[in-house]
Amino acid sequence: MEESSAIIDSVKKVSPAVVSVVSKSQVQNIFGDVYTQQGGGTGFIITSDGLILTNKHVVSDANATYTVILADGKNYDAKVQSLDPLDDIAVVKIDARNLPVVELGDSDQLTVGQWVVAVGNALGKYQNTVTVGVISAKERKVEASDPSGGDTESLQGLLQTDAAVNPGNSGGPLVNLVGQVVGINTAVASNAQGISFAIPINLAKKAIDSIKKTGKIIRPYLGIRYLPITPDLAKANNLKYDYGVLVIRGNGIGQVAVVSGSPADKAGIAENDIILGINGERIDENNSLSSLIQKYNVGDTVTLKIFHKDEEKDAKVTLQEIK
């Protein structure tokens, strides 16, 4: 009963600030007929004057129009303010005042087994649907695709939960039992039940600060493609370290290990190097490279500890903006 009461209180606290995001676009079929295609997602209000956080893939169609439906049923035209170049995060804006806002929690404090609540616009139809589950794992990496199976992107550092998330829940909040948002629901494992993923809210906080200050989401980057090293990977590949990240090219054409002209390239980082830490913080399953880099700002100089050509060394890198 104690948990049930906490869940009810948590939902009451967050629900007024959870919104539906509806997209409409004109689509032509193979016979030349034009019809309106509608999509649905979820978002949540982060400022009382109408800034709303959602998923990038919910609002990524530049030709679509977007409408936000508040919990009280009011409709507003929405403008896409900024798309995050790094994560599946976007901010949309509506022209409104005195709106209810969510309280942001600390996703770093989450523990596996902790109760969480997902609130969203399930299947794009059922507004503010509530599901309950636990944090199943942290620091997960998934390849997420849009509903058509077309565009895919690699998402890292995710929370895994068994709280049911359905199409339309994307962009909705994952909430702890005191009603604080600790994640943004973003992806579902389509070939399994009870496996959903959320972006930790701490990864979004820098984006929120950035958009409040500059009007857009600005992210620093290194400019490498990499594979997180686990003990199993280290053993299988006879690597010297069982932590850090291995700088490695992708399988596709043009998927280089180090982007030409990037901060990593300028610092002399090369394919097959291992990056072990940043400013004294070790890169491991509890501290992903992505989450550590996002602690810093564009223009900051950080010191990477790397294993390069059979020796450990420090490399100073000045972070640049992802374009």
Q: Which residues are catalytic?
A: 57, 88, 170
Q: Are 225 and 256 in contact (CB under 8 A)?
A: yes
The amino acid sitting at 302 is V
Tokens 């009870």 map to which residue? 194
User: From CA 87, how far away is CA 170, in angstroms rounded?
Assistant: 13
CA dist 81 → 52, 207, 221 (Å): 9, 12, 21
CA-CA-CA-CA dihedral for 224, 229, 234, 237, to nearest 10 = -40
